[in-house]
Amino acid sequence: MTIWLRNRSAATGFGALALSALASPAFAQGNTPGINPTDTAWMIVATAFVLMMTVPGLALFYAGMVRKKNVLATMAQSLGAVAVISILWVAYGYSLTFVGDGASLGTLHRFMLSGMTMDSINPLAKTIPESLFVLYQMTFGVIAVALIAGSVADRMRFSSYMLFCVGWFTFAYIPLAHWIWGGGFLGQLGVLDFAGGLVIHLSAGSAGLVAAIMLGSRRGYGSENLAPHDLSLAVIGTGLLWVGWFGFNGGSALQANSRAVMAILSTHLAACAGALMWSAIEWFKRRKPSVLGMISGAVAGLGTITPASGFVTPGQGILIGLIAGAVCYWACTSLKHRYKYDDTLDVFGIHGIGGMIGTLLTGVFATAAIGGTPGLLEGNPHLLLVQAVGIVVTIIWSGGATYVLLKLIDVLVRVRVSHEHEVEGLDITQHGEALQ
Amino acid sequence: MKLVTAIIKPFKLDEVRQALTGIGVHGMTVTEVKGYGRQKGHTEIYRGAEYAVNFLPKLRIEVAVSADLADQTVQVITAGARTGQIGDGKVFVTPIESAVRIRTGETDADAL
């Protein structure tokens, strides 16, 4: 998400505006002059789209890939993240992330949204109501937390998961989002992350990797059949994620403008290219292009284009999607099995790796005519270095916070379910329900 | 009376049913089953994770016929279900001691 200051400049312009305001009754409806109804309308829609990515999008995407005895528990993780993070976001998340531009953290001036009014705006999004900016950014915090659940699917207790959500959101997400988007030191350094390649995908991916290693593999990993129970659910979930991503990346322009459309175009093309690349590799290597491969490639393309979407051309979006399909395929099928960690639904392999290479490729392909910043190909190698710094900080901070939190939670409530409960399934043992 | 039980490939059901109707067999029970014989199983791959699936889906057909129709029944099932590939299935014939049609109370051959 990058802030694009509207070119509402100059005293002459303001004079003309004031005159037309007097003449036009439409203007006299209580909006402050800075709030633009078109931008507001688009951002309301984009907000709904991004919420839809978590429920039902991610819930279906993940639930389709687990075994039947863990479907409801997997959906509960997405639902739980929506419920708890939304409340925490208005309590202190928004204020610490986006109010005040300290290098390390925001302020608590908007604790429980105190001081926010009907007409107030955040300086980072001057043309929409502050309440809408709060809501839009809330949906990003929600999905970042919900993504992590995929790496520890089938074996984490619901109580420990909810505690982890609160901790990771507070100690990993808020600082990272502030550092990159809220005026913190990474943003000041010039790190580009249009819609969350670092803040959402790499941070969730790093947390997922650490959590998967700390919890250990599922029982039967490598010996028993742990095949997905219903990939058609995952296909539906992917479709909802895909459409929702239009709001995720397009909305990150924070305005209804050409840059939003350009971001959506690159996003869609990257998803298509990612799906094609993953399938092509499978077709070549395994003689059959799997449906799981197609949707994995699409999500890889979407995650990878995320940081780049408002900075690159549509053609470069295709290229980024192709690279995403190939590299994420390698990460999920070779890297993971070589190092024998059970990142169950490939949160690191797809979101972590995708966010990482997308952030680097932003440094390569950034086009001044689109996002105002030139990258390596336009003669600015410095950007690539800055992007790499963003990656290193994100991995260390998110991974480190995850390690400390899980150690603490394990002392408090034990992170992993018992052997018996894992075999029986999380639906019945954690929630007292089961699919028949 | 004989009970003819056949395990066949699922996509062959319609051919077998038509062939049985052709020789005057007008009832059957079909069950979806899983199992393996010489065909063994197959391999499924999910993002590079390979799983050996030992039990393959098959259909079990059960037909009760009079003793003089049993051989012909076995023949048409065999002909209808054969592809020549491994995994075509098997046919078993067992004797039936007695039979009752529940609605009318008819017994044995009249009940078939």
Torsion of CA A44, A50, A51, A56, to 10 degrees: 140
**Among A93, A104, A270, A119, CA closest to A194:** A270
The pLDDT confidence band at residue A5, using thresholds 50, 70 and 90, is very low
Name the residue facing A228 among B46, B48, B53 (closest C-beta): B46
pLDDT at A229: 95
Rounded Cα gap, residues A341 and A221, in angstroms: 10
Per-domain residue ranges of chain B: 2-111
pTM of the predicted protein model: 0.85
Residues of A in contact with B53 (CB under 8 A): 225, 227
Q: Which domain holds residue A231?
A: 37-431
Instruction: Kindly state whether residue A5 falls inside one of the protein's structural domains.
Output: no
- A75: number of CA atoms within 13 Å, CB side? 19
Q: What is the pLDDT of residues A200-257, one digit of tens each?
A: 999 999 999 999 999 999 999 988 889 999 999 999 999 999 999 999 999 999 999 9
Q: What is the pLDDT of residues A84-126, one digit of tens each?
A: 999 999 999 999 999 998 999 999 999 999 999 999 999 999 9
Q: Do A332 and B47 touch (CB under 8 A)?
A: yes
pLDDT at B52: 83
The pLDDT confidence band at residue A1, using thresholds 50, 70 and 90, is very low
**Among B89, B61, B73, CA closest to B22:** B73
Distance of CA A153 to the CA centre of its chain: 18
Q: What is the pLDDT of residues A266-305, one digit of tens each?
A: 999 999 999 999 999 999 999 999 999 999 999 999 999 9
pLDDT at B49: 87
pLDDT at A9: 39
Instruction: Kindly state whether residue A72 falls inside one of the protein's structural domains.
Output: yes
**Among B49, B24, B56, CA closest to A333:** B49
pLDDT, averaged per 10 consecutive residues of chain B (112 residues), comes to 95 94 92 87 85 89 94 96 92 95 91 86
The pLDDT confidence band at residue A31, using thresholds 50, 70 and 90, is low
Query: Distance, in angstroms, between B51 CA and closest chain A CA?
Result: 5
Instruction: Kindly state whether residue A3 falls inside one of the protein's structural domains.
Output: no
- Kindly tell me if the per-residue pLDDT of A169 is higher than 60: yes
Q: Do A332 and B44 touch (CB under 8 A)?
A: no
Q: Do A296 and B51 touch (CB under 8 A)?
A: no
Rounded Cα gap, residues A50 and A205, in angstroms: 19
Q: Please, are residues A169 and A143 in contact by the beta-carbon 8 Å criterion? A: no
Backbone phi, psi, residue A103, to 5°: -65, -30
- Looking at domain B2-111, its CATH architecture is 2-Layer Sandwich (3.30)
The CATH number that applies at residue A385 is 1.10.3430.10
pLDDT at A384: 97
Q: Do A296 and B47 touch (CB under 8 A)?
A: yes
pLDDT at A363: 97
Instruction: Kindly state whether residue A125 falls inside one of the protein's structural domains.
Output: yes
The average pLDDT across A417-428 equals 96
Domain count, chain A: 1
Rounded Cα gap, residues A356 and A334, in angstroms: 18
